[in-house]
Amino acid sequence: SYELTQPPSVSASPGQTASIACSGDELGGKFASWYQQKPGQSPVLVIYQDHKRPSGIPERFSGSNSGNTATLTIGGTQAMDEADYYCQAWDSNTVIFGGGTKLTVL
């Protein structure tokens, strides 16, 4: 079965750029999406179709997907960005989530 792998944790200082990777076999040939989940809240879609932002998502959130890795980049990280982030893809009538990455803003 298809798997997506994320680092358990990433940290960044306020104002710096944070990058979260998501790896999977030939992931670049699929669409990747990203979700933000804060404690006690439901997930929020922040990136779809690899790099597009839904309405209301700040411009500092961006995405890319090539080869075996999709990347979520948060430019000018803010304290409010501290959360768990999950990548997601679709393969063979199955939806797959990565294990999640906890972003800590130091």
Partner 1 sequence: EVQLVESGGGLVQPGGSLRLSCTASGFSFSSYWMSWVRQAPGKGLEWVANIKQDGSVKWYMDSVKGRFTISRDNAKNSLYLQMNSLRAEDTAVYYCARVSIYGDYSFDYWGQGTLVTVSS
Residue 93 is a binding residue for partner 1 (CB under 8 A): yes
Segment near partner 1 (CB under 8 A), from 9-17, 19-27, 70-78, 80-88?
80-88
Residue 98 is a binding residue for partner 1 (CB under 8 A): yes
| Rounded least distance, CB 45 to partner 1, Å | 5
CA distance 87 to 101: 9
Residue 56 is a binding residue for partner 1 (CB under 8 A): no
| Rounded least distance, CB 56 to partner 1, Å | 11
| Pairing of β 101-105 and β 83-91 | antiparallel
User: Number of C-alpha atoms within 13 angstroms, CB side, residue 28?
Assistant: 6
Residue 1 is a binding residue for partner 1 (CB under 8 A): yes
CA distance 64 to 47: 10
28 residue type, one letter: G
Q: What does the block give as tokens for 29?
A: 């040939």
39 three-state secondary structure: coil
- What does the binding site for partner 1 look like in residue numbers (CB under 8 A)? 1, 31, 33, 35, 37, 42-45, 48-49, 52, 54, 84, 86, 88, 90, 93-100
